[in-house]
Structure 1
Amino acid sequence: MPPPPPKPGVIPLAPLGVDHILGGAFATMRRYAKPLFGLTFLGVAILAGLTLGLDYLAYLSVKTQLDRIIAAPRSVDWTDLRTVLIAFGAVWVVGMVVSLVASSFVQASSAATLHDAVLGRRAQVGAVWKRAWSRTPSVLGVTLLLGLVVVVPLVLLVVLFGLLLAAIASKAPLVAFSLFPLVMLLAIPLAVWLFVRFSFAPAAAVLEGASPVTAMRRSARLVRGAWWRTFGILLLGGLITLIVSLVVNVPFQLAMPTPQPYDLSSAQEPVSVTEVYAQILPSMGRSLVLSTIASLFVQLFSLVFMPLVGSLLYIDQRIRREGLADVLMRAAAVTEAPGGPGTPEGPAAPGGPEAPGGPGTPGSVE
Structure 2
Amino acid sequence: MSDTSGWGPQAPYGGPPGPYGGPPYGWGSNGGWAPPPPPPKPGVIPLAPLGVDHILGGTFATMRRYAKPLFGTAVAAYGLLVVVMATVAALAYLSVREHVQAMYEPGATFSWDDGRPILIAFGAVWLAGLLASLAVNSFIQASCSATLHEAVLGRPATFGAVWRRAWSRTPSVMAVTVLLALVLLLPLGACALLFVSFFITVLTQSAVPFGLVFLLLLVVTPLAAWLYVLFAFAPAVAALETAGPLQALRRSVRLVRGAWWRTFGISLLAGVIVGIVSLVVRLPLQFATPMPPPPAPGSSASAVLLDQLRSQFGLYALFGLVATFLTQLAASVFLPLVTAVLYIDQRIRKEGLAQTLTEAVSVREPAP
TM over 0.5: yes
Which protein, 1 or 2, shows the higher relative CO under an 8 Å CA cutoff with sep ≥ 6? 2
Q: CA deviation at 1:52?
A: 2.2
Contact in 2 for aligned 1:71/1:264 (Cα 8 Å): no
Identical aligned residues as a percent:
54
C-alpha offsets along residues 123-151 of structure 1, whole Å, 9 cap, x if unaligned?
11111111111111110111123333444
Larger-gyration structure (1/2): 2
Of 153-162 and 322-331, deviating more is 153-162
Q: Where do residues 77-96 of structure 1 align in structure 2 (5 Å cutoff)?
A: 77-96=111-130
For 2:260, the aligned partner's letter is W
RMSD: 3.2
Of 152-161 and 86-95, deviating more is 152-161
Q: Are residues 1:34 and 2:68 paired?
A: yes
Q: Where do residues 109-124 of structure 1 align in structure 2 (5 Å cutoff)?
A: 109-124=143-158
Which residue matches 1:308? Answer: 337
State TM-score, norm by structure 2: 0.79
C-alpha offsets along residues 5-58 of structure 1, whole Å, 9 cap, x if unaligned?
111100011000111111111110000000000000111111112112322333
> Aligned with 1:120: secondary structure?
coil
Q: CA deviation at 1:172?
A: 3.2
- Cα distance change of structure 1 residues 147 and 117 upon mapping to structure 2, 3 Å threshold: same
Q: CA deviation at 1:72?
A: 7.5
State TM-score, norm by structure 1: 0.79
Aligned counterparts of 1:159 and 1:251: Cα–Cα separation in 2: 36
Which residue matches 1:358? Answer: none
Q: Are residues 1:231 and 2:260 paired?
A: no
For 1:317, the aligned partner's letter is Q
- Cα distance change of structure 1 residues 80 and 251 upon mapping to structure 2, 3 Å threshold: farther
Contact in 2 for aligned 1:10/1:28 (Cα 8 Å): yes
Could you list the runs of 5+ residues in structure 2 that have no partner in the other structure? 1-34
Q: CA deviation at 1:66?
A: 4.7
> Aligned with 1:111: secondary structure?
helix
Q: Where do residues 143-162 of structure 1 align in structure 2 (5 Å cutoff)?
A: 143-151=177-185, 155=189
For 2:136, the aligned partner's letter is A
Q: Where do residues 63-142 of structure 1 align in structure 2 (5 Å cutoff)?
A: 63=97, 65-66=99-100, 76-142=110-176
- Cα distance change of structure 1 residues 158 and 256 upon mapping to structure 2, 3 Å threshold: closer
Q: CA deviation at 1:61?
A: 4.1
Aligned counterparts of 1:253 and 1:160: Cα–Cα separation in 2: 31
Of 283-292 and 221-230, deviating more is 283-292
Aligned counterparts of 1:285 and 1:78: Cα–Cα separation in 2: 37
- Cα distance change of structure 1 residues 168 and 280 upon mapping to structure 2, 3 Å threshold: closer
C-alpha offsets along residues 199-229 of structure 1, whole Å, 9 cap, x if unaligned?
0000001111111000000001111111111
Q: Are residues 1:296 and 2:329 paired?
A: no
Aligned residues: 328
- Cα distance change of structure 1 residues 60 and 221 upon mapping to structure 2, 3 Å threshold: same
Of 60-69 and 37-46, deviating more is 60-69
Q: Are residues 1:318 and 2:347 paired?
A: yes
Aligned counterparts of 1:126 and 1:265: Cα–Cα separation in 2: 52
- Cα distance change of structure 1 residues 157 and 296 upon mapping to structure 2, 3 Å threshold: closer
> Aligned with 1:214: secondary structure?
helix
Aligned counterparts of 2:146 and 2:250: Cα–Cα separation in 1: 20
Could you list the runs of 5+ residues in structure 1 that have no partner in the other structure? 267-275, 340-366
